[in-house]
Structure 1
Protein backbone atom coordinates (compact mmCIF):
# COMPACT_ATOMS: atom_id res chain seq x y z
CA UNK A 1 0.00 0.00 0.00
CA UNK A 2 1.28 3.45 -0.92
CA UNK A 3 1.89 5.80 1.99
CA UNK A 4 -0.24 8.89 1.37
CA UNK A 5 2.34 11.15 3.02
CA UNK A 6 4.98 10.05 0.50
CA UNK A 7 2.47 10.55 -2.30
CA UNK A 8 1.67 14.08 -1.13
CA UNK A 9 5.37 14.92 -1.00
CA UNK A 10 5.84 13.59 -4.53
CA UNK A 11 2.90 15.56 -5.95
CA UNK A 12 4.07 18.75 -4.25
CA UNK A 13 7.59 18.23 -5.63
CA UNK A 14 6.23 17.55 -9.12
CA UNK A 15 4.17 20.74 -9.03
CA UNK A 16 6.89 23.01 -7.59
CA UNK A 17 9.87 21.50 -9.43
CA UNK A 18 12.36 22.11 -6.61
CA UNK A 19 13.50 20.01 -3.63
CA UNK A 20 14.38 23.18 -1.72
CA UNK A 21 11.04 24.90 -2.23
CA UNK A 22 9.12 21.68 -1.59
CA UNK A 23 10.93 21.26 1.72
CA UNK A 24 10.00 24.82 2.71
CA UNK A 25 6.34 24.42 1.77
CA UNK A 26 5.98 21.11 3.61
CA UNK A 27 8.11 22.24 6.57
CA UNK A 28 10.59 19.42 5.97
CA UNK A 29 14.28 19.10 5.29
CA UNK A 30 15.53 18.44 1.75
CA UNK A 31 16.81 15.06 2.89
CA UNK A 32 13.34 14.31 4.26
CA UNK A 33 11.82 15.07 0.87
CA UNK A 34 14.38 12.81 -0.81
CA UNK A 35 13.63 10.00 1.64
CA UNK A 36 9.89 10.18 0.88
CA UNK A 37 10.57 10.01 -2.87
CA UNK A 38 12.99 7.08 -2.45
CA UNK A 39 10.49 5.17 -0.30
CA UNK A 40 7.70 5.82 -2.81
CA UNK A 41 9.89 4.54 -5.66
CA UNK A 42 10.71 1.43 -3.63
CA UNK A 43 7.02 0.84 -2.90
CA UNK A 44 6.10 1.14 -6.60
CA UNK A 45 9.23 -0.60 -7.85
CA UNK A 46 9.87 2.03 -10.52
CA UNK A 47 11.88 5.23 -10.80
CA UNK A 48 9.72 8.35 -10.67
CA UNK A 49 12.38 11.01 -11.28
CA UNK A 50 15.45 11.44 -13.43
CA UNK A 51 17.75 13.69 -11.43
CA UNK A 52 19.85 16.18 -13.34
CA UNK A 53 21.99 17.94 -10.72
CA UNK A 54 19.65 20.17 -8.73
CA UNK A 55 16.94 19.67 -11.33
CA UNK A 56 14.87 16.65 -12.31
CA UNK A 57 12.33 15.47 -14.82
CA UNK A 58 9.54 12.98 -14.27
CA UNK A 59 9.73 9.54 -15.79
CA UNK A 60 6.74 8.23 -17.70
CA UNK A 61 5.68 6.32 -14.57
CA UNK A 62 6.18 9.47 -12.50
CA UNK A 63 4.02 11.54 -14.86
CA UNK A 64 1.21 9.00 -14.77
CA UNK A 65 1.40 8.80 -10.99
CA UNK A 66 1.19 12.58 -10.77
CA UNK A 67 -1.87 12.74 -13.04
CA UNK A 68 -3.75 10.01 -11.21
CA UNK A 69 -2.82 11.27 -7.75
CA UNK A 70 -3.89 14.90 -8.06
CA UNK A 71 -7.59 14.28 -7.37
CA UNK A 72 -6.77 11.75 -4.66
CA UNK A 73 -4.57 14.21 -2.78
CA UNK A 74 -7.24 16.90 -3.06
CA UNK A 75 -9.82 14.48 -1.67
CA UNK A 76 -7.54 13.51 1.20
CA UNK A 77 -6.91 17.15 2.02
CA UNK A 78 -10.65 17.88 2.17
CA UNK A 79 -11.54 14.64 3.96
CA UNK A 80 -10.94 15.94 7.47
CA UNK A 81 -12.96 19.06 6.74
CA UNK A 82 -15.85 17.14 5.21
CA UNK A 83 -16.20 14.53 7.95
CA UNK A 84 -16.07 17.18 10.66
CA UNK A 85 -18.93 19.21 9.16
CA UNK A 86 -21.84 19.23 11.58
CA UNK A 87 -24.82 20.87 9.89
CA UNK A 88 -28.04 21.20 11.90
CA UNK A 89 -30.23 20.62 8.82
CA UNK A 90 -28.42 17.85 6.92
CA UNK A 91 -28.08 14.11 7.42
CA UNK A 92 -30.23 11.24 8.63
CA UNK A 93 -31.90 11.23 12.04
CA UNK A 94 -33.18 7.86 13.28
CA UNK A 95 -35.96 8.21 15.86
CA UNK A 96 -38.07 5.70 17.77
CA UNK A 97 -41.01 6.19 20.12
CA UNK A 98 -44.29 4.62 21.22
CA UNK A 99 -47.25 5.29 18.98
CA UNK A 100 -48.91 8.13 20.85
CA UNK A 101 -45.73 10.21 20.89
CA UNK A 102 -45.13 9.36 17.24
CA UNK A 103 -48.60 10.53 16.24
CA UNK A 104 -47.73 13.87 17.78
CA UNK A 105 -44.14 14.33 16.58
CA UNK A 106 -43.82 12.61 13.21
CA UNK A 107 -45.92 15.10 11.18
CA UNK A 108 -43.89 17.99 12.59
CA UNK A 109 -40.60 16.23 11.82
CA UNK A 110 -41.80 15.71 8.24
CA UNK A 111 -42.67 19.40 7.98
CA UNK A 112 -39.14 20.16 9.13
CA UNK A 113 -37.76 17.84 6.44
CA UNK A 114 -39.92 19.57 3.82
CA UNK A 115 -38.30 22.84 4.88
CA UNK A 116 -34.80 21.32 4.88
CA UNK A 117 -34.74 18.50 2.27
CA UNK A 118 -31.21 17.41 3.23
CA UNK A 119 -32.54 16.45 6.67
CA UNK A 120 -33.75 12.84 6.42
CA UNK A 121 -36.20 11.55 9.05
CA UNK A 122 -36.28 7.81 9.80
CA UNK A 123 -39.09 7.36 12.35
CA UNK A 124 -39.91 3.98 13.89
CA UNK A 125 -42.98 3.28 16.06
CA UNK A 126 -42.22 0.78 18.82
CA UNK A 127 -43.15 -0.05 22.42
CA UNK A 128 -41.01 1.26 25.25
CA UNK A 129 -39.08 -1.95 25.81
CA UNK A 130 -37.72 -1.98 22.24
CA UNK A 131 -36.18 1.48 22.31
CA UNK A 132 -33.29 0.90 24.72
CA UNK A 133 -32.03 -2.10 22.78
CA UNK A 134 -32.29 -0.21 19.50
CA UNK A 135 -30.06 2.52 20.96
CA UNK A 136 -27.53 0.02 22.27
CA UNK A 137 -27.45 -1.70 18.86
CA UNK A 138 -26.90 1.65 17.09
CA UNK A 139 -30.14 1.20 15.16
CA UNK A 140 -31.46 4.63 16.16
CA UNK A 141 -29.97 7.96 17.24
CA UNK A 142 -32.55 9.04 19.78
CA UNK A 143 -35.65 7.69 21.46
CA UNK A 144 -38.68 9.11 23.23
CA UNK A 145 -39.99 6.87 26.02
CA UNK A 146 -42.63 6.86 28.72
CA UNK A 147 -41.05 4.13 30.83
CA UNK A 148 -37.24 4.59 30.98
CA UNK A 149 -34.97 1.89 32.38
CA UNK A 150 -32.07 2.62 34.71
CA UNK A 151 -29.35 1.51 32.28
CA UNK A 152 -25.97 3.08 32.92
CA UNK A 153 -25.21 3.24 29.18
CA UNK A 154 -28.22 5.48 28.53
CA UNK A 155 -29.16 9.02 29.41
CA UNK A 156 -32.81 9.69 30.29
CA UNK A 157 -34.06 13.28 30.50
CA UNK A 158 -37.68 13.98 31.42
CA UNK A 159 -39.18 16.64 29.15
CA UNK A 160 -42.96 16.34 29.54
CA UNK A 161 -45.88 14.40 30.98
CA UNK A 162 -48.89 12.99 29.13
CA UNK A 163 -52.21 12.12 30.73
CA UNK A 164 -53.49 8.56 30.61
CA UNK A 165 -57.19 8.21 29.78
CA UNK A 166 -59.78 5.49 30.13
CA UNK A 167 -61.66 5.01 26.84
CA UNK A 168 -64.88 3.04 26.50
CA UNK A 169 -67.65 2.73 23.92
CA UNK A 170 -69.75 5.90 23.71
CA UNK A 171 -72.79 4.39 25.40
CA UNK A 172 -70.96 3.73 28.69
CA UNK A 173 -71.43 6.87 30.79
CA UNK A 174 -70.39 5.51 34.19
CA UNK A 175 -67.30 3.27 33.99
CA UNK A 176 -67.72 1.33 37.24
CA UNK A 177 -65.63 -1.75 37.83
CA UNK A 178 -68.38 -4.25 36.95
CA UNK A 179 -68.98 -2.49 33.62
CA UNK A 180 -65.28 -2.64 32.77
CA UNK A 181 -65.12 -6.32 33.66
CA UNK A 182 -68.08 -7.01 31.44
CA UNK A 183 -66.60 -5.08 28.53
CA UNK A 184 -63.11 -6.58 28.68
CA UNK A 185 -59.77 -5.05 27.73
CA UNK A 186 -58.44 -4.11 24.29
CA UNK A 187 -54.69 -4.56 24.70
CA UNK A 188 -51.74 -2.91 22.93
CA UNK A 189 -47.93 -3.08 23.29
CA UNK A 190 -47.86 -0.70 26.30
CA UNK A 191 -51.35 -1.63 27.46
CA UNK A 192 -50.44 -3.61 30.57
CA UNK A 193 -48.15 -0.88 31.88
CA UNK A 194 -50.57 1.99 31.19
CA UNK A 195 -53.61 0.12 32.52
CA UNK A 196 -51.70 -0.73 35.68
CA UNK A 197 -50.84 2.94 36.22
CA UNK A 198 -54.35 4.33 35.74
CA UNK A 199 -56.66 1.55 36.92
CA UNK A 200 -54.76 0.65 40.08
CA UNK A 201 -54.99 4.29 41.20
CA UNK A 202 -58.77 4.48 40.68
CA UNK A 203 -60.19 0.98 41.18
CA UNK A 204 -59.36 -0.90 44.42
CA UNK A 205 -60.57 -4.09 42.76
CA UNK A 206 -57.92 -3.94 40.05
CA UNK A 207 -55.10 -6.48 40.42
CA UNK A 208 -53.58 -6.95 36.99
CA UNK A 209 -54.68 -6.47 33.42
CA UNK A 210 -54.43 -10.24 32.93
CA UNK A 211 -57.33 -10.60 35.35
CA UNK A 212 -59.59 -8.76 32.90
CA UNK A 213 -61.18 -10.53 29.92
CA UNK A 214 -59.07 -9.83 26.84
CA UNK A 215 -61.20 -8.70 23.90
CA UNK A 216 -58.51 -7.86 21.38
CA UNK A 217 -55.04 -6.54 20.63
CA UNK A 218 -53.56 -4.11 18.13
CA UNK A 219 -50.06 -2.73 17.67
CA UNK A 220 -51.32 0.09 15.42
CA UNK A 221 -52.11 3.00 17.70
CA UNK A 222 -54.11 4.79 14.99
CA UNK A 223 -56.48 1.78 14.80
CA UNK A 224 -56.54 0.76 18.44
CA UNK A 225 -59.77 2.59 19.24
CA UNK A 226 -61.66 0.98 16.35
CA UNK A 227 -62.73 -2.07 18.42
CA UNK A 228 -63.60 0.23 21.32
CA UNK A 229 -65.81 2.32 19.03
CA UNK A 230 -67.61 -0.87 17.99
CA UNK A 231 -68.41 -1.74 21.61
CA UNK A 232 -65.96 -4.64 21.80
CA UNK A 233 -64.06 -3.49 24.88
CA UNK A 234 -62.27 -0.65 26.66
CA UNK A 235 -58.67 0.43 26.80
CA UNK A 236 -56.23 2.89 28.41
CA UNK A 237 -54.26 5.21 26.16
CA UNK A 238 -52.18 8.39 26.33
CA UNK A 239 -54.12 11.58 25.65
CA UNK A 240 -52.76 12.37 22.21
CA UNK A 241 -53.55 8.93 20.84
CA UNK A 242 -57.15 9.48 21.97
CA UNK A 243 -57.31 12.98 20.48
CA UNK A 244 -56.04 11.66 17.14
CA UNK A 245 -58.90 9.16 16.74
CA UNK A 246 -61.04 10.01 13.72
CA UNK A 247 -64.40 8.98 15.25
CA UNK A 248 -64.63 10.75 18.62
CA UNK A 249 -68.43 10.46 18.66
CA UNK A 250 -68.09 6.66 18.84
CA UNK A 251 -66.10 6.61 22.09
CA UNK A 252 -66.35 7.99 25.61
CA UNK A 253 -63.25 9.45 27.25
CA UNK A 254 -63.31 9.30 31.04
CA UNK A 255 -61.24 11.57 33.29
CA UNK A 256 -61.07 9.48 36.46
CA UNK A 257 -60.99 11.01 39.97
CA UNK A 258 -57.28 10.31 40.40
CA UNK A 259 -55.49 11.71 37.38
CA UNK A 260 -52.44 9.78 36.23
CA UNK A 261 -49.81 10.98 33.79
CA UNK A 262 -46.81 9.18 32.43
CA UNK A 263 -43.48 10.95 31.93
CA UNK A 264 -41.91 11.42 28.53
CA UNK A 265 -38.14 11.08 28.41
CA UNK A 266 -35.54 11.69 25.75
CA UNK A 267 -33.26 8.66 25.72
CA UNK A 268 -29.76 8.68 24.19
CA UNK A 269 -26.45 6.89 24.53
CA UNK A 270 -24.80 8.56 27.49
CA UNK A 271 -21.27 9.00 26.11
CA UNK A 272 -22.18 9.71 22.48
CA UNK A 273 -21.93 13.40 21.50
CA UNK A 274 -25.16 14.82 20.10
CA UNK A 275 -24.73 16.10 16.51
CA UNK A 276 -26.44 19.35 15.59
CA UNK A 277 -29.06 17.59 13.45
CA UNK A 278 -30.14 15.56 16.51
CA UNK A 279 -30.30 18.77 18.52
CA UNK A 280 -32.59 20.20 15.81
CA UNK A 281 -34.98 17.28 16.29
CA UNK A 282 -34.90 17.60 20.08
CA UNK A 283 -35.68 21.31 19.91
CA UNK A 284 -38.59 20.63 17.55
CA UNK A 285 -39.97 17.99 19.93
CA UNK A 286 -39.70 20.33 22.93
CA UNK A 287 -41.53 23.03 20.99
CA UNK A 288 -44.37 20.71 19.99
CA UNK A 289 -44.82 19.31 23.48
CA UNK A 290 -45.01 22.83 24.89
CA UNK A 291 -47.74 23.79 22.39
CA UNK A 292 -50.01 20.80 23.01
CA UNK A 293 -52.59 20.76 25.78
CA UNK A 294 -52.26 16.99 26.11
CA UNK A 295 -48.79 17.44 27.56
CA UNK A 296 -47.40 19.14 30.63
CA UNK A 297 -43.84 20.22 29.92
CA UNK A 298 -41.08 20.08 32.51
CA UNK A 299 -37.78 21.88 32.87
Structure 2
Protein backbone atom coordinates (compact mmCIF):
# COMPACT_ATOMS: atom_id res chain seq x y z
CA UNK A 1 0.00 0.00 0.00
CA UNK A 2 1.29 3.47 -0.88
CA UNK A 3 1.49 5.76 2.11
CA UNK A 4 -0.25 9.15 1.70
CA UNK A 5 2.87 10.75 3.24
CA UNK A 6 5.09 9.19 0.56
CA UNK A 7 2.75 10.37 -2.19
CA UNK A 8 2.65 13.88 -0.76
CA UNK A 9 6.46 14.02 -0.67
CA UNK A 10 6.73 12.78 -4.24
CA UNK A 11 4.13 15.18 -5.68
CA UNK A 12 5.72 18.11 -3.81
CA UNK A 13 9.17 17.09 -5.09
CA UNK A 14 7.83 16.97 -8.65
CA UNK A 15 6.32 20.44 -8.23
CA UNK A 16 9.35 22.05 -6.53
CA UNK A 17 12.05 20.37 -8.62
CA UNK A 18 14.62 19.81 -5.86
CA UNK A 19 14.78 17.88 -2.59
CA UNK A 20 15.78 21.07 -0.76
CA UNK A 21 12.75 23.09 -1.82
CA UNK A 22 10.41 20.08 -1.36
CA UNK A 23 11.66 19.57 2.20
CA UNK A 24 11.17 23.28 2.99
CA UNK A 25 7.64 23.22 1.56
CA UNK A 26 6.68 20.14 3.55
CA UNK A 27 8.58 21.27 6.67
CA UNK A 28 10.51 18.00 6.66
CA UNK A 29 14.19 17.13 6.42
CA UNK A 30 15.72 16.32 3.04
CA UNK A 31 16.52 12.88 4.41
CA UNK A 32 12.84 12.26 5.17
CA UNK A 33 11.75 13.27 1.67
CA UNK A 34 14.50 11.12 0.16
CA UNK A 35 13.42 8.17 2.29
CA UNK A 36 9.80 8.52 1.16
CA UNK A 37 10.88 8.47 -2.48
CA UNK A 38 13.06 5.39 -1.88
CA UNK A 39 10.06 3.57 -0.35
CA UNK A 40 8.04 4.34 -3.48
CA UNK A 41 10.83 3.25 -5.82
CA UNK A 42 11.20 0.00 -3.90
CA UNK A 43 7.62 -0.84 -4.88
CA UNK A 44 7.29 0.86 -8.26
CA UNK A 45 10.77 0.98 -9.73
CA UNK A 46 12.80 4.09 -10.75
CA UNK A 47 10.63 7.20 -10.57
CA UNK A 48 13.12 10.01 -11.17
CA UNK A 49 16.61 10.83 -12.39
CA UNK A 50 18.65 12.83 -9.87
CA UNK A 51 20.66 15.59 -11.54
CA UNK A 52 22.96 18.24 -9.98
CA UNK A 53 20.43 21.04 -10.52
CA UNK A 54 17.23 19.12 -9.97
CA UNK A 55 15.27 15.99 -10.84
CA UNK A 56 13.65 14.55 -13.98
CA UNK A 57 10.70 12.17 -13.83
CA UNK A 58 10.84 8.81 -15.55
CA UNK A 59 7.74 7.47 -17.38
CA UNK A 60 6.84 5.63 -14.17
CA UNK A 61 7.31 8.90 -12.29
CA UNK A 62 4.88 10.70 -14.60
CA UNK A 63 2.36 7.87 -14.12
CA UNK A 64 2.70 8.13 -10.33
CA UNK A 65 2.30 11.92 -10.47
CA UNK A 66 -0.96 11.48 -12.40
CA UNK A 67 -2.06 8.99 -9.75
CA UNK A 68 -1.23 11.50 -7.01
CA UNK A 69 -3.44 14.07 -8.73
CA UNK A 70 -6.29 11.55 -8.97
CA UNK A 71 -5.97 10.74 -5.26
CA UNK A 72 -6.03 14.43 -4.39
CA UNK A 73 -9.18 15.01 -6.49
CA UNK A 74 -10.86 11.99 -4.92
CA UNK A 75 -9.98 13.30 -1.47
CA UNK A 76 -11.55 16.69 -2.23
CA UNK A 77 -14.66 14.98 -3.57
CA UNK A 78 -14.96 12.79 -0.49
CA UNK A 79 -14.53 15.78 1.82
CA UNK A 80 -17.22 17.68 -0.06
CA UNK A 81 -19.65 14.77 0.19
CA UNK A 82 -18.98 14.22 3.88
CA UNK A 83 -19.34 17.87 4.85
CA UNK A 84 -22.29 18.37 2.46
CA UNK A 85 -21.56 22.08 2.57
CA UNK A 86 -23.05 23.04 -0.76
CA UNK A 87 -26.74 22.65 -1.55
CA UNK A 88 -26.44 23.70 -5.18
CA UNK A 89 -23.42 21.72 -6.41
CA UNK A 90 -22.85 18.05 -7.12
CA UNK A 91 -24.82 15.18 -8.63
CA UNK A 92 -28.34 14.13 -7.66
CA UNK A 93 -29.65 10.78 -8.92
CA UNK A 94 -33.38 10.08 -9.14
CA UNK A 95 -35.30 7.09 -10.51
CA UNK A 96 -39.02 7.14 -11.35
CA UNK A 97 -41.62 5.17 -13.29
CA UNK A 98 -41.96 6.38 -16.87
CA UNK A 99 -45.37 7.90 -16.25
CA UNK A 100 -44.04 10.01 -13.40
CA UNK A 101 -40.93 10.89 -15.38
CA UNK A 102 -42.98 12.54 -18.12
CA UNK A 103 -44.01 15.14 -15.58
CA UNK A 104 -40.87 15.37 -13.46
CA UNK A 105 -38.04 15.15 -16.00
CA UNK A 106 -38.71 18.45 -17.84
CA UNK A 107 -38.88 20.19 -14.45
CA UNK A 108 -35.64 18.54 -13.35
CA UNK A 109 -33.98 19.94 -16.47
CA UNK A 110 -35.34 23.41 -15.64
CA UNK A 111 -33.87 23.16 -12.14
CA UNK A 112 -30.49 22.06 -13.51
CA UNK A 113 -30.46 24.91 -16.05
CA UNK A 114 -31.16 27.41 -13.28
CA UNK A 115 -28.55 25.82 -10.97
CA UNK A 116 -25.37 25.41 -13.06
CA UNK A 117 -23.45 23.56 -10.33
CA UNK A 118 -26.08 20.83 -10.07
CA UNK A 119 -26.05 17.68 -12.23
CA UNK A 120 -29.24 15.59 -12.41
CA UNK A 121 -29.05 11.89 -13.29
CA UNK A 122 -32.52 10.47 -14.03
CA UNK A 123 -33.68 7.00 -14.99
CA UNK A 124 -37.09 5.65 -16.05
CA UNK A 125 -37.94 2.24 -14.56
CA UNK A 126 -40.91 0.14 -13.37
CA UNK A 127 -41.81 0.66 -9.70
CA UNK A 128 -40.26 -2.62 -8.55
CA UNK A 129 -36.93 -1.56 -10.05
CA UNK A 130 -37.27 1.91 -8.48
CA UNK A 131 -37.47 0.37 -5.02
CA UNK A 132 -34.57 -2.02 -5.69
CA UNK A 133 -32.34 0.76 -7.07
CA UNK A 134 -32.84 2.95 -4.01
CA UNK A 135 -32.31 0.01 -1.65
CA UNK A 136 -29.06 -0.83 -3.45
CA UNK A 137 -27.98 2.82 -3.06
CA UNK A 138 -27.63 3.20 -6.83
CA UNK A 139 -29.93 6.24 -6.74
CA UNK A 140 -30.39 8.91 -4.07
CA UNK A 141 -34.17 9.06 -4.33
CA UNK A 142 -37.09 7.41 -6.10
CA UNK A 143 -40.79 8.11 -6.62
CA UNK A 144 -43.43 5.36 -6.35
CA UNK A 145 -47.21 5.16 -6.19
CA UNK A 146 -47.35 2.84 -3.19
CA UNK A 147 -45.55 3.29 0.11
CA UNK A 148 -42.97 0.46 0.39
CA UNK A 149 -43.23 -1.85 3.39
CA UNK A 150 -39.52 -1.93 4.14
CA UNK A 151 -37.95 -0.36 7.23
CA UNK A 152 -34.77 0.34 5.27
CA UNK A 153 -36.67 2.96 3.25
CA UNK A 154 -37.99 6.31 4.39
CA UNK A 155 -41.11 7.43 2.52
CA UNK A 156 -42.83 10.80 2.49
CA UNK A 157 -45.89 12.03 0.55
CA UNK A 158 -44.61 13.95 -2.44
CA UNK A 159 -47.43 14.88 -4.81
CA UNK A 160 -50.69 13.56 -6.23
CA UNK A 161 -51.28 11.61 -9.42
CA UNK A 162 -54.65 11.35 -11.18
CA UNK A 163 -55.22 8.10 -13.13
CA UNK A 164 -57.49 8.24 -16.16
CA UNK A 165 -59.24 5.69 -18.36
CA UNK A 166 -58.40 6.64 -21.96
CA UNK A 167 -60.27 5.24 -24.98
CA UNK A 168 -60.22 5.93 -28.74
CA UNK A 169 -62.07 9.14 -29.60
CA UNK A 170 -64.52 7.41 -31.93
CA UNK A 171 -65.20 4.31 -29.84
CA UNK A 172 -68.59 3.80 -28.26
CA UNK A 173 -67.81 2.81 -24.69
CA UNK A 174 -70.72 2.76 -22.29
CA UNK A 175 -69.71 0.10 -19.81
CA UNK A 176 -67.61 -2.89 -18.84
CA UNK A 177 -68.49 -5.07 -21.82
CA UNK A 178 -67.25 -2.38 -24.20
CA UNK A 179 -63.87 -2.33 -22.44
CA UNK A 180 -63.63 -6.11 -22.78
CA UNK A 181 -64.41 -5.78 -26.47
CA UNK A 182 -61.76 -3.06 -26.98
CA UNK A 183 -58.92 -4.78 -25.14
CA UNK A 184 -56.18 -3.28 -22.98
CA UNK A 185 -52.99 -1.51 -24.10
CA UNK A 186 -50.48 -2.40 -21.40
CA UNK A 187 -47.27 -0.67 -20.27
CA UNK A 188 -44.74 -1.34 -17.48
CA UNK A 189 -46.99 0.15 -14.77
CA UNK A 190 -50.21 -0.42 -16.69
CA UNK A 191 -51.44 -3.54 -14.90
CA UNK A 192 -51.09 -1.95 -11.46
CA UNK A 193 -52.69 1.33 -12.56
CA UNK A 194 -55.56 -0.35 -14.36
CA UNK A 195 -56.26 -2.64 -11.42
CA UNK A 196 -56.51 0.30 -9.04
CA UNK A 197 -58.76 2.35 -11.32
CA UNK A 198 -61.01 -0.42 -12.62
CA UNK A 199 -61.61 -1.88 -9.16
CA UNK A 200 -63.02 1.47 -8.03
CA UNK A 201 -64.84 2.29 -11.26
CA UNK A 202 -66.37 -1.17 -11.75
CA UNK A 203 -66.72 -2.84 -8.34
CA UNK A 204 -67.62 -6.52 -8.50
CA UNK A 205 -65.85 -7.14 -11.81
CA UNK A 206 -62.79 -9.41 -12.02
CA UNK A 207 -60.70 -6.64 -13.50
CA UNK A 208 -57.99 -7.25 -16.08
CA UNK A 209 -58.42 -11.01 -15.81
CA UNK A 210 -61.46 -10.65 -18.07
CA UNK A 211 -59.91 -8.19 -20.52
CA UNK A 212 -57.60 -9.29 -23.36
CA UNK A 213 -54.30 -7.46 -23.74
CA UNK A 214 -54.15 -6.08 -27.28
CA UNK A 215 -50.83 -4.26 -27.09
CA UNK A 216 -47.82 -3.35 -24.97
CA UNK A 217 -45.08 -0.72 -25.08
CA UNK A 218 -42.47 0.35 -22.59
CA UNK A 219 -42.27 3.84 -24.12
CA UNK A 220 -44.61 5.96 -22.02
CA UNK A 221 -44.88 8.66 -24.69
CA UNK A 222 -46.18 6.08 -27.19
CA UNK A 223 -48.75 4.27 -25.03
CA UNK A 224 -51.64 6.29 -26.40
CA UNK A 225 -50.67 5.79 -30.05
CA UNK A 226 -52.39 2.36 -30.33
CA UNK A 227 -55.33 3.79 -28.36
CA UNK A 228 -55.63 6.64 -30.86
CA UNK A 229 -55.69 4.03 -33.66
CA UNK A 230 -58.59 2.18 -32.06
CA UNK A 231 -56.60 -0.85 -30.89
CA UNK A 232 -57.64 -0.71 -27.26
CA UNK A 233 -57.91 1.41 -24.12
CA UNK A 234 -55.33 2.20 -21.45
CA UNK A 235 -55.01 3.63 -17.97
CA UNK A 236 -52.36 6.26 -17.32
CA UNK A 237 -51.67 9.41 -15.31
CA UNK A 238 -53.32 12.64 -16.38
CA UNK A 239 -50.02 14.43 -17.01
CA UNK A 240 -48.95 11.61 -19.35
CA UNK A 241 -52.25 11.85 -21.25
CA UNK A 242 -51.86 15.63 -21.57
CA UNK A 243 -48.45 15.15 -23.15
CA UNK A 244 -49.87 13.09 -26.04
CA UNK A 245 -49.37 14.86 -29.37
CA UNK A 246 -52.80 13.94 -30.84
CA UNK A 247 -55.40 14.72 -28.16
CA UNK A 248 -58.18 14.84 -30.76
CA UNK A 249 -57.76 11.08 -31.38
CA UNK A 250 -58.47 10.03 -27.78
CA UNK A 251 -60.92 10.83 -24.99
CA UNK A 252 -61.07 10.28 -21.26
CA UNK A 253 -63.92 8.04 -20.17
CA UNK A 254 -65.59 9.52 -17.09
CA UNK A 255 -63.31 12.56 -16.99
CA UNK A 256 -64.84 13.59 -13.67
CA UNK A 257 -64.09 10.19 -12.11
CA UNK A 258 -60.30 10.16 -12.11
CA UNK A 259 -58.68 8.14 -9.32
CA UNK A 260 -56.33 10.45 -7.43
CA UNK A 261 -53.45 8.77 -5.60
CA UNK A 262 -50.49 9.92 -3.55
CA UNK A 263 -46.99 9.55 -4.94
CA UNK A 264 -44.26 8.78 -2.42
CA UNK A 265 -40.67 9.97 -2.33
CA UNK A 266 -38.38 7.21 -1.05
CA UNK A 267 -34.76 7.13 0.09
CA UNK A 268 -32.61 5.10 2.43
CA UNK A 269 -33.76 5.55 6.01
CA UNK A 270 -30.34 5.03 7.60
CA UNK A 271 -28.98 8.46 6.62
CA UNK A 272 -30.36 11.92 5.97
CA UNK A 273 -30.65 13.25 2.44
CA UNK A 274 -27.68 15.43 1.42
CA UNK A 275 -28.47 19.13 1.17
CA UNK A 276 -28.21 19.14 -2.62
CA UNK A 277 -30.76 16.31 -2.84
CA UNK A 278 -33.14 18.02 -0.41
CA UNK A 279 -32.77 21.26 -2.40
CA UNK A 280 -33.76 19.50 -5.62
CA UNK A 281 -36.66 17.66 -3.92
CA UNK A 282 -38.07 20.91 -2.51
CA UNK A 283 -37.74 22.70 -5.85
CA UNK A 284 -39.37 19.85 -7.75
CA UNK A 285 -42.24 19.59 -5.27
CA UNK A 286 -43.00 23.32 -5.50
CA UNK A 287 -43.11 23.21 -9.30
CA UNK A 288 -45.32 20.13 -9.45
CA UNK A 289 -47.81 21.63 -6.99
CA UNK A 290 -47.84 24.94 -8.85
CA UNK A 291 -48.35 23.34 -12.27
CA UNK A 292 -51.05 20.93 -11.11
Aligned length: 270
What residue ranges of structure 2 are gaps of 5+ in the alignment? 14-18, 43-49, 57-61
Matched residue, 2:281 = 282
Matched residue, 2:78 = 83
Contact 1:99/1:241 (<8 A) preserved? no
Matched residue, 2:59 = none
User: Partners in 1 of 2:73 and 2:221 — Cα distance?
Assistant: 47
Report the TM-score when normalising by structure 1.
0.73
Alignment of 1:162-181 (within 5 A): 162-172=161-171, 174-181=173-180
Q: Are positions 1:206 and 2:205 aligned together? A: yes
Alignment of 1:137-216 (within 5 A): 137-172=136-171, 174-216=173-215
Matched residue, 1:262 = 261
- The Cα offsets for residues 70-122 of structure 1, whole Å up to 9 and x where unpaired, read as 99999988875553234333333222111221111111211222233442222
Q: Per the alignment, in what secondary structure is the counterpart of residue 92 of structure 2? A: strand
| Greater percentage in helix | 2
Q: Are positions 1:238 and 2:233 aligned together? A: no
Q: Per the alignment, in what secondary structure is the counterpart of residue 162 of structure 1? A: strand
Q: Based on CA coordinates, which of the two structures has the bigger radius of gyration? A: 1
Report the TM-score when normalising by structure 2.
0.75
Contact 1:189/1:219 (<8 A) preserved? yes
Matched residue, 2:47 = none
Alignment of 1:45-84 (within 5 A): 64=55, 82-84=77-79
Matched residue, 1:124 = 123
RMSD: 3.7
User: Partners in 2 of 1:105 and 1:213 — Cα distance?
Assistant: 31
Change (3 A) 1:44 1:248: closer
Change (3 A) 1:214 1:73: closer
Contact 1:165/1:236 (<8 A) preserved? yes
What residue ranges of structure 1 are gaps of 5+ in the alignment? 24-32, 47-58, 294-299
